[in-house]
Amino acid sequence: MSYANQPSYNTFKLDKVLVFSAAILLIVSALQDFLDPTRRTLPTVIIQALTRLLLGLFMIYFFFTVLNQR
């Protein structure tokens, strides 16, 4: 058996896992800011939370469209 013809195993790629977990982390942290009544009164917190939410949604869209192509 040579090293050039290694058998390929069907494993889940690390980049897909990292993108998906980062997207979930962004969405959860944005939702935490929206659910906290004292923090959601500040305009800067609302803008930051909206930015994180939109970035997380874009990363999920990116995960399901670009990263899952064969």
The total number of structural domains in the chain stands at: 1
Residue 21: domain span = 14-65
Mean pLDDT of 18-30: 95
Mean pLDDT of 32-60: 94
Contact 46, 40 (CB under 8 A): yes
Torsion on CA atoms 43, 44, 46, 52, rounded to nearest 10: 170
Question: What are the residues whose beta carbons fall under 8 Å from the beta carbon of 40, sequence distance 6 or more?
Answer: 33, 34, 46, 49
Tell me if 7 is assigned to some domain: no
Range with top average pLDDT, 13-17, 34-38, 56-60: 56-60
What is the pLDDT, as a whole number, of residue 68? 80
Question: What is the Cα–Cα distance from 5 to 14, expressed in whole angstroms?
Answer: 22
Tell me if 4 is assigned to some domain: no
Looking at the predicted structure, is the pLDDT value of residue 31 above 90?
yes
Predicted confidence (pLDDT) per residue in 10-20, tens digit:
666 788 889 99
Amino acid symbol at 30: A
